Amino acid sequence: MHWTRCAIAAAAIIAIVGCQSATDSKTDPMGAVASGNKLKVVFIAKSAGNAYFAEAVKGFKEAADSLGVEFSDTAPTTGEATSQIPVIKEQIQRKVDIIAISANSPDALNPSLDEAKAKGILVVTVDADLTGNESHRDFGVMAPGTATVGESQIELLGSEMKYEGSFAILSATRDAPNQNAWIAAMKETLSKPKYAKMKLVDIVYGNDEAEKSSTETEGLLSKHPDLRGIIAPTTVGLVAVAQSVEIAGVYPGGPKAKGGGVYVTGLGTPNQMKKFVEKGVVTAFQLWSPRDMGFLATNLAVAVKQGKAKVGAEYDCPKLGKRTFDSKNVMAVGPLVTFDKSNIAKFDF
């Protein structure tokens, strides 16, 4: 697959570039001066300690190293709507040139991001957008189309539960713009005749915290004894759901499975999900490359900042090729990949 090869090549590039810059700063007496003039890019994740964002950061770093710009990443401890406000303010004070952010709210960040833009900082949403408030950022780099993700998730669960029975969604935070957009697309998909016998009975929020996601899953299982499926469109949530369903023994074929058992799917990272797929707790799940997302965002943002690319126009990204913006100035990464027993061993992230 295209981005597995890329990942290997990228690892090699990072190794080489990493060595070079370490040597440069030791031997080049102008290093300090030069680094003072470098463009400063920061990525603000939704919350700390999430493997998905750690993978995205690899892409940011790879691009930053190849472009000779300075990169750092940071995140609030938790992902509630306002938690990124002090972090944005801190970065404005640091005089960064580019803020890339996976937004925890579609609107709570507007004033802080406006302040950043007023200071000449380029504001780029990555992974989670300011849905309905797009004018408060310059452009976005997002997952493969919202409709694609929503439809594919419903189709994946539907094919497993034979398009019949009740299911629930375990999401991230209540305000998460990306999960909310995917859930809206899932509901839209459910209105098609093919899915008429699938019933969405509950939506709960694990806040992208392992413990809260597990507690919410246990709640779903006891509240809905006839549940046939759970979709967790969050990498943190999906691990927790898989684990809770395994412990409860209610996965299809599990010791406590009733009426066929509970199918679990969602968006997850292959490395976190491998063991559940191997054990048969989860059959299939999906994701795109978070690393490509960071890589594209950095390349594009730096090119725009340097006047080498224009928001709204076609962009030819190193390694990834030509991409276009949609009407909301979003550039998507892709493809959306389905991971199962047949291919999961090929991925390492």
Q: Does 46 bind ligand RAM (CB under 6 A)?
A: yes
| Min separation Cβ 237 and ligand RAM, Å | 7
| Min separation Cβ 288 and ligand RAM, Å | 9
Q: Which two tokens stand for residue 3?
A: 């981005």
One of 236, 239, 273, 301 touching ligand RAM (CB under 6 A): 236
| Min separation Cβ 50 and ligand RAM, Å | 5
Query: Which range touches ligand RAM (CB under 6 A), out of 63-71, 229-237, 275-283, 306-314?
Result: 229-237
| Min separation Cβ 303 and ligand RAM, Å | 24
Query: Which range touches ligand RAM (CB under 6 A), out of 12-20, 22-30, 44-52, 186-194?
Result: 44-52
Q: Residue 9 CA to chain centroid, in angstroms?
A: 22
| Min separation Cβ 261 and ligand RAM, Å | 24
Q: Does 267 bind ligand RAM (CB under 6 A)?
A: yes
The helix (run of H) or strand (run of E) holding residue 140 is strand 139-142
Strand partners, 44: 74, 101
| Min separation Cβ 236 and ligand RAM, Å | 5
Q: Does 339 bind ligand RAM (CB under 6 A)?
A: no
**Three-state secondary structure call for residue 264:** strand
CA–CA distance, 139 with 304 (Å, rounded to integer): 10
Q: Does 235 bind ligand RAM (CB under 6 A)?
A: yes
Burial class (CB in 10 A: 0-12, 13-18, 19+), 176: buried
For residue 125, give every residue at least 6 positions away whose Cβ sits within 8 Å of its Cβ, in sequence order, or none. 100, 101, 102, 103, 137, 139, 140, 141, 142
For ligand RAM, the closer of residues 91 and 234 by Cβ is 234
Query: Which range touches ligand RAM (CB under 6 A), out of 46-54, 152-160, 216-224, 244-252?
Result: 46-54
Q: Does 73 bind ligand RAM (CB under 6 A)?
A: no
CA–CA distance, 62 with 306 (Å, rounded to integer): 18
71 and 126 Cβ atoms separated by less than 8 Å: no
Q: What is the DSSP letter of 135?
A: G
| Min separation Cβ 168 and ligand RAM, Å | 17
Q: Does 50 bind ligand RAM (CB under 6 A)?
A: yes
Query: Which range touches ligand RAM (CB under 6 A), out of 34-42, 170-178, 190-198, 298-306?
Result: 170-178
DSSP 201-260: EEEEE-TT-HHHHHHHHHHHHHH-TTEEEEEE-SHHHHHHHHHHHHHHT-STTSTT--TT
Q: What's the N-to-C CA distance of the chain in angstroms?
A: 14
Q: Does 265 bind ligand RAM (CB under 6 A)?
A: no
Q: Which two tokens stand for residue 91?
A: 């970065």
Residues numbered 179-208 forming contacts with ligand RAM, rule: CB under 6 A: 208
Query: Which range touches ligand RAM (CB under 6 A), out of 45-53, 65-73, 257-265, 314-322?
Result: 45-53
| Min separation Cβ 33 and ligand RAM, Å | 38
One of 84, 102, 125, 214 touching ligand RAM (CB under 6 A): 102
For residue 141, give every residue at least 6 positions away whose Cβ sits within 8 Å of its Cβ, in sequence order, or none. 100, 124, 125, 126, 127, 293, 296, 297, 300, 330, 331, 332, 333
104 and 81 Cβ atoms separated by less than 8 Å: yes
| Min separation Cβ 102 and ligand RAM, Å | 5
Q: Does 69 bind ligand RAM (CB under 6 A)?
A: no
| Binding positions for ligand RAM, rule: CB under 6 A | 46, 50, 52, 102, 127-128, 172, 176, 178, 208, 234-236, 267
